[in-house]
Amino acid sequence: MGDARTTRPRGASARVTPSPTSRSVVSGVSVIESVAVPYDAHVPSRLRKKHYLSALVAGGLLAGGLSACTGGGGDATVQVGRVERGDVAEVVEAPATVSARATAVRRAPAKGTVKRLYVADGDRVREGDVLATISSPEARERLAQAREADRSVSAGSGTMPTRLDLSGYQHRTDRSAREGFAAARKIALRIADPRQRALVLAGITRAEAEYRTAAAAARTAVARLNAGLGSVGATMSSITAAQRVQTRAAVRAAERTVQELTIRAPFDGVVGLGGPAGGAQGGLGDLLDQLPQGVQAQGGPAGLGDLGGGGAAKDASAIATGAPVVGGDAIVTVTDVSRLSLFADVDETDVLQVRKGVQADVEFDAVQGGSYKAEVTGIGVTPKQSNGGGVTYKVTLALGEGTLSGGGTAPRPKPGMSAVVFLRVRDARAVLAVPSSAIVSSGRESVVWVVSGGRAQRRVVGLGAQGDATVQVTRGLQEGERIVVRGADSVERGQELDP
C-alpha cells in the first residue's frame, strides 16, 4: 500500500495556484492533477525541485471516475472527483550543512619553526598521537628566565624597597598585579579556540586568587609592623610570598608553552595540515607572561611583544619541516567524523511543527541519485536573519546511512557539504484527502466546490496535514462526496457541472 507523500517548501503559504499538470496513477485510474506552486516566491528554486507523490494512494484517494466539462463562466477545464480516504504526509524542506562530531585546530604555542611533521593530509590518528613538534628557543629561554626569577624571589634576593616604606611598596605591588591580571585576561578573551580560551582564563583566575590571599597576608604583616607588633623580617617574608605567587604563575605558563611544542591529537579523527586563522598570536606562554612577575621586577610587567592579531591561516603547502611559525599559527586540524550531524535552517513559518524525533530524508548535491535518512535531535531558539526576509532557526539532525537509486550504499558525506532535508513533520493515515488544487483560499477560509444536484456549491473546510499535491480535510466534507479537483479557481457559485 503506497502513500501520497507531499512536500510544502519552507515558508510557503497555504494558498496555492494551479501550474502545468503532472500525470500519476491513483488506484488504477488515470488522474490529471494540478501540482501546487508555493505562493511565497522567496523560497530558493532548489528547494522546490522535489515533490513526493506515490503512484498509489492508500484507500483509493479520489478513486471515483473523473469527468471533464466546461464551466458556464468561461473556457477553463474543470474536473471532478470523489473524496475518499488516503495517507498524507506533510514535509518541510530546508537547506542544511554537514557537521563533524568535533573539530580542533592545533596551533603553534610560540614563535619558532616546524621541527618535524609526523602526519600527512587525510591520515587517521588516535587520541594522544604526536602530530608535529615545534622548535622554539624563545619559549625555552622564557622558561629559564621564569625559573630563575622564581628562585631569586624564593631566596629573598628579589627587588625590595631601598627604604622601609613597606606600605607604599605593597600598594605598588598590588597595583602592578591588578594591571597585569587585567592585561592577561583581556588578551585571553581574544583566543578563538573555546577550549584554549577557557584553560587560559582558568589559569589567570587561579593565579589571581592565590595572589589575593598572599597579598592579604602581606598587608596584615605591614599593619602589624606599623603597630609595633611585628618584625621587619616577618613583614618582608609576607611580601615575598605574594611575589612568589606571580613568579610561580609565570613558571607554570612557560612550562605549559614548552610542553605544547609537542602537538598531539586531542581525540581520534582525520588530520588536515594547516587550518583557519584564529588563536592568540604569541601563544599561551606569552599571554600569561602579562601577569606581573619577578622576572620583570626591574622593569615592570612583560610587554605585549608579538601579541597582535590572531594566528594566521595556513594551508597544507605552508606546513613543512623547517617552516617558520609564530604563536597562534594553525599547524594541524583534527576532525572527528565518527558521527555526522546536519544543521538545517528552518523557516519561522515551519519550525513550530518540527520536534525531536521527526524523521527526514536528505539529498546532497554531491551525491546524485543518493538518499539518506536523518532524525531531528535538537531545535534551536536563536533566530537568524534569512536572505528572503524573516528569520530561520537551526535544527540539528543525526545523519544516518544512505542508498543510491540503483540500490547500492551511498558514499559517506564530508563535513561542510550542502544538503536539502525533507522533514516529515506530520503523517496522516487513512484520512479524507483531496488534491491541493481543489482548495481555494478565501481570506482566512479554505473552500472547496462540492457538486450537488449538478451545480457547484461553496463549502468551507478544515485542513490538517498539507503539502503541494494533497491535503488532509478534517471537517466540512464526507467520504464519497464529489468535488472540483481541477480548475477550482474558475468555478462560480451555482455553476452547472456535468454529472
Q: How confident is the model at residue 306 (pLDDT cuts 50, 70, 90)?
A: very low
pLDDT above 90 (res 25): no
Give per-residue burial for 476-493: e unless 16+ CB within 10 Å, then b.
Answer: bbeeebbbbbbbbbbbee
Distance from C-alpha of 327 to C-alpha of 317, rounded to nearest angstrom = 19
CB 134 within 8 A of CB 113: yes
pLDDT above 60 (res 98): yes
Three cell numbers written together for 229: 607588633
Domains and CATH numbers, the chain: 4-91+427-490 (2.40.420.20), 102-336 (no CATH)
Please give the residue that has the higher pLDDT: either 97 or 37. 97
- When pLDDT is averaged across residues 470-477 and rounded to a whole number, the result is 94
- When pLDDT is averaged across residues 300-308 and rounded to a whole number, the result is 34
pLDDT digits (tens, 9 = 90+) for 107-136: 998 889 999 999 999 999 999 999 999 999
Please report, for residues 91, 92, 245, 334, the alpha-carbon distance to residue 130 in angstroms, rounded to integers and kept in the order given: 47, 46, 33, 12
Q: What is the mean pLDDT of the chain?
A: 75
Closest CA to 94 of 353, 339, 402: 353
Q: How confident is the model at residue 352 (pLDDT cuts 50, 70, 90)?
A: very high
pLDDT at 193: 65
Distance from C-alpha of 170 to C-alpha of 245, rounded to nearest angstrom = 14
Most confident of the ranges 88-92, 233-237, 238-242, 277-281: 88-92
- When pLDDT is averaged across residues 79-92 and rounded to a whole number, the result is 91
Bridge partners of 360, per DSSP, are 374, 423
pLDDT digits (tens, 9 = 90+) for 436-449: 999 998 778 999 99
pLDDT at 220: 67
Closest CA to 148 of 250, 237, 236, 239: 250
Three cell numbers written together for 114: 616546524
CB 487 within 8 A of CB 76: yes
pLDDT at 19: 34
pLDDT above 70 (res 146): yes
pLDDT above 60 (res 50): no
Cα torsion 341, 347, 351, 353 to 10°: value is: -110
pLDDT above 90 (res 423): yes
pLDDT at 485: 94
- When pLDDT is averaged across residues 346-374 and rounded to a whole number, the result is 95
Cα torsion 22, 23, 26, 29 to 10°: value is: 140
Write the DSSP symbol of residue 337: -
If residue 180 lies in a helix (H) or strand (E), which one and from where to where? helix 166-188
pLDDT above 80 (res 263): yes
pLDDT at 76: 55
Distance from C-alpha of 15 to C-alpha of 443, rounded to nearest angstrom = 10
pLDDT at 382: 95
pLDDT at 443: 76
pLDDT above 50 (res 424): yes
User: Which amino acid is present at 288?
Assistant: L
pLDDT above 90 (res 147): no
Q: How confident is the model at residue 407 (pLDDT cuts 50, 70, 90)?
A: confident
- When pLDDT is averaged across residues 283-308 and rounded to a whole number, the result is 39
pLDDT at 199: 76
pLDDT at 190: 66
Question: Which residue in the block uniquely carries the three cell numbers 608553552?
Answer: 257
Strand ranges inside 27-138, DSSP E: 29-34, 37-38, 67-70, 77-82, 84-99, 102-107, 112-117, 124-125, 130-135
pLDDT at 482: 94
pLDDT above 60 (res 82): yes
pLDDT above 80 (res 205): yes
Three cell numbers written together for 359: 524523521
- Global confidence as pTM: 0.61
